Amino acid sequence: MFRRNPLYRGDRPANVDQVIWNAGVSRDACFEGVEDDRIDYCVGLGGIPTTAYRSVAEKHGINRPGGRFVVGPSLSTWFFAFNHERAAFRGPGQIPLKEAINHAIDRPAMARAFGYLAGKRTDQMLPPTLARPEALYPLRGADPATARRWLAMARLEPRELVFYANSSGPAGIAIAQVLVYNLRQIGIEVEVRYFDTVTLTEKSATRGEPFDIAMLGWTATTRMPRRFSCHSSKTTGPGAGRISPTRASRGESTRRTDSRVRRADAPSRTSTST
């Protein structure tokens, strides 16, 4: 419980006498409480259920003055990390493979996996406020023809890659299926292994772990670029690389929604940052 400070003499407005903060409330429970007028605001990464975005938008509108449902970009990114310890991505001779995958993935399909308003496609490593405006990779869908040309230039053309996917929600499972289809179009099969978020993060940071690509996420607390560059160099140990399929929007309906970001960046550039 937070109470108003009786000694405060500043000019910031104080509209309430106290705030009661309940931790551990599920997204569904918080959403129901807001709709029933038992809860004023739900905060945090949980947000309202993504399945409710459309109905809430239809009921309350989006970004209306004084409105209840606000949507805007977040500092979160979901991405694919390349494991540079594996033969498929080891050394400069494998840079064309990374380029091939960046052209092969279908960013719109991956963004749609998060649901209405929950994700936005991007080909940048950084959030919109920090990224460059120019396009690096296809944003309207996969480009398998260009991907195959890049793949032909790789020193090693793998026939199969191991992908560590996130099983903690339907989006991670759907994205894995999209990746399997996309890479099959350029002659690469994908073996998918599913893990919950905690296990996936731990395994992707373990040297010698037998994966080629992992789906990971990162949310920065500030807009400072170093918050992203420091993380990228540590995710899978020294030499970690990155790709990522999209970046997300964040909504809030008296409570903030989950942020989903996906971006697809050339791991050849990202190997020293993100």
Reduced to 3 states, what is the DSSP secondary structure of residue 103?
helix
- Say what the pLDDT of residue 164 is: 98
DSSP character string of 134-146: S--S-SSS--HHH
pLDDT tens digits, one per residue of 180-194: 999 999 999 999 999
- Say what the pLDDT of residue 25 is: 78
pLDDT tens digits, one per residue of 234-252: 444 433 444 344 333 333 3
pLDDT tens digits, one per residue of 99-132: 999 999 999 999 999 888 888 888 887 766 667 7
CATH topology of domain 73-270: Dipeptide-binding Protein; domain 3 (3.10.105)
Q: Model confidence at 270, in pLDDT bands (50, 70, 90)? A: very low
Identify whether the C-beta of residue 219 lies closer than 8 Å to the C-beta of residue 236: no
Q: Model confidence at 254, in pLDDT bands (50, 70, 90)? A: very low
Cα-based distances in Å from 64 to 70, 253, 271? 8, 11, 41
CA distance 211 to 25: 35
Tokens standing for residue 196: 């919950």
The more confidently predicted of residues 14 and 202 is 202
Of 157-161, 174-178, 245-249, which range is least confident?
245-249
- Say what the pLDDT of residue 64 is: 93
Taking residues 196-203, what's their average pLDDT? 94
pLDDT tens digits, one per residue of 9-21: 888 877 888 888 7
Q: Is the pLDDT of residue 148 over 90?
A: yes
Residue 270 class from Cβ within 10 Å (0-12 exposed, 13-18 middle, 19+ buried)?
buried
Identify whether the C-beta of residue 236 lies closer than 8 Å to the C-beta of residue 215: no
The more confidently predicted of residues 219 and 88 is 88
What does pTM read for this prediction? 0.72
The more confidently predicted of residues 224 and 91 is 91
Q: Where in the chain is the domain with CATH 3.10.105.10?
A: 73-270
Identify whether the C-beta of residue 189 lies closer than 8 Å to the C-beta of residue 157: no
For residue 190, give the H/E element and its range. Answer: strand 189-195
Q: What are phi and psi of 144, to 5 degrees?
A: -65, -30
The more confidently predicted of residues 111 and 135 is 111
